[in-house]
């Protein structure tokens, strides 16, 4: 039937009607809030390029986690800023590392039982050079040593699981890391700890503010030899295939809004639980528009999250998690 028998606007007339026929829904339990943990006590240091976000000492992170739990948010994704860095990223896998220590405190708090504690696994925050793996230098030339890096990543994953992480989330993009991490977890009797693989992580200009937040900018070169080329959708599917074959339980797409086509392609191809990371640059560019009055903050925030959900993400890692949860009730 065509107009005038068919009038699509009939189902848009009131908010009650629009709600009844709405195809895509957001809820707080599908939101994951990133936290940046730093040394000290009583530290709540504003991140200049990410309005409303902070580097938090462990005691302050516990308070932030309690606020997230009260809002019904689904989980936290933890990143660490160590007191010291070195070439081997020893702070990443130390038993008393910053994230390991935070996990132990967070898991003691029964008010946080509703939160899934996800631990990011990468070396960039912990290396003195800022790369995501072990660097081999030859004069002015350098290379990221894949297999040596994988060994440290597996060691880091086992340490974080032992400290209480509910989910291990490798973001490094080294070849073979998921298989090595799964083996290390199983060897350490953490068979029930799932791996959320950043299976499709593109080399992106949208990571800039994060590198301030995590103090993780590379001191030389860039990350294009291990993070993916933004032009390559088919390669993204190959990366996901590989990680699933190696034992990934869930997959994460990063960034989100500039790569909605990749999220959709992955949703149509895979039936694993899939998340998307609305990264720091996506968050900060929207905030820049909010501060200038160019966009309505609440509407633009919710529309951006809905687009990611509609593309196929089951859950969303976002710095808007708390604000969105308040809107969603």
* Rg, the chain, Cα only: 20
Tell me what pLDDT residue 137 has: 85
Distance, in Å, from the CA atom of 37 to the CA atom of 298, rounded to the nearest integer, reads 27
Q: What pLDDT sits at residue 70? A: 98
Reported confidence tier of residue 213, pLDDT bands at 50, 70, 90: confident
What mean pLDDT is predicted for residues 215-242?
87
> Which domains does the chain possess?
25-328 (3.20.20.70)
Contact 327, 298 (CB under 8 A): yes
- The tokens of 11 are what? 């189902």
14-18, 145-149, 214-218, 304-308, range with the lowest pLDDT: 214-218
Q: Tell me the pLDDT tens digit for each residue of 69-112.
A: 999 999 999 999 999 999 999 999 999 999 999 999 999 999 99
pTM of the model: 0.95
Q: Is 178 exposed, middle or buried (CB count within 10 Å of its CB: 0-12, 13-18, 19+)? A: buried
Pairing of strands 54-56, 44-46: antiparallel
Q: What is the pLDDT of residue 187?
A: 97
Is 66 in contact with 112 (CB distance < 8 Å)? yes
Q: 212 falls in which pLDDT band (50, 70, 90)?
A: confident
Over residues 225-251, mean pLDDT: 94
Give the Cα separation of 129 and 231 in Å (integer). Answer: 27
Which pLDDT score, from 0 to 100, does residue 117 have?
98
100-155, pLDDT tens digit by residue? 999 999 999 999 999 999 999 999 999 988 788 888 887 778 888 999 999 999 99
Mean pLDDT across the stretch 250-270? 97
Collapsed DSSP state (helix, strand, coil) of residue 204: coil
Q: How far apart (Å, rounded) are the C-alpha atoms in residues 72 and 209?
A: 26
Per-residue pLDDT at 320 exceeds 80: yes
* Mean pLDDT over each residue of the chain, to the nearest integer: 94
pLDDT confidence of residue 328: 97
**Catalytic positions, please?**
201, 254
pLDDT tens string 148-177: 999 999 999 999 999 999 999 999 989 999
Q: pLDDT higher for 110 or 223?
A: 110
Flag whether pLDDT at 237 surpasses 90: yes
Q: How far is CA 10 from CA 4, 21, 100, in A?
A: 11, 11, 55
| pLDDT tens figures, 294-309 | 999 999 999 999 999 9
pLDDT at position 217 is 79
Q: What is the pLDDT of residue 136?
A: 85
Q: What is the spatial distance between Cα 20 and Cα 38, in angstroms, rounded to a whole number?
A: 45
Average pLDDT (253-268) is: 97
């Amino acid at each position: 039937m065509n107009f005038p028998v068919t009038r699509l606007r009939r189902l848009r007339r009131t908010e009650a009607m629009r709600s009844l026929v709405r195809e895509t829904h957001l809820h707080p339990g599908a939101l994951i809030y990133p936290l940046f943990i730093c040394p000290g006590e009583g530290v709540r240091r504003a991140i200049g390029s990410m309005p409303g976000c902070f580097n938090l000492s462990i005691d302050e992170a516990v308070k932030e986690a309690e606020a997230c739990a009260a809002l019904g948010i689904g989980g936290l994704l933890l990143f660490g800023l160590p007191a010291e860095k070195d070439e081997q990223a020893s702070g990443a896998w130390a038993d008393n590392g910053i994230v390991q220590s935070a996990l132990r405190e967070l898991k003691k708090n029964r008010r946080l039982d509703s939160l899934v504690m996800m631990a990011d696994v990468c070396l960039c925050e912990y290396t003195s050079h800022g790369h995501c793996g072990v660097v081999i230098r030859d004069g002015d030339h350098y290379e990221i040593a894949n297999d040596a890096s994988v060994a440290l990543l597996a060691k880091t994953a086992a340490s974080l699981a032992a400290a209480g992480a509910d989910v291990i989330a490798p973001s490094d993009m080294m070849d073979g890391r998921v298989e090595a991490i799964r083996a290390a977890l199983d060897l350490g009797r953490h068979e029930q700890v799932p791996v959320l693989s950043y299976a499709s992580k593109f080399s992106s200009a949208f990571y800039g503010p994060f590198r301030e937040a995590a103090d993780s900018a590379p001191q030389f070169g860039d990350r294009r030899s291990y993070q993916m080329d933004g032009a390559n959708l088919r390669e993204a599917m190959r990366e996901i295939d590989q990680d699933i074959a190696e034992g990934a339980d869930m997959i994460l797409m990063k960034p989100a809004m500039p790569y909605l086509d990749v999220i959709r392609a992955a949703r149509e191809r895979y039936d694993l639980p899939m998340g998307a990371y609305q990264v720091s640059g996506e968050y900060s560019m929207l905030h820049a528009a909010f501060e200038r009055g160019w966009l309505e903050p609440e509407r633009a925030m919710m529309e951006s999250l809905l687009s990611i959900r509609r593309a196929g993400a089951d859950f969303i890692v976002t710095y808007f998690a708390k604000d969105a949860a308040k809107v969603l009730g």
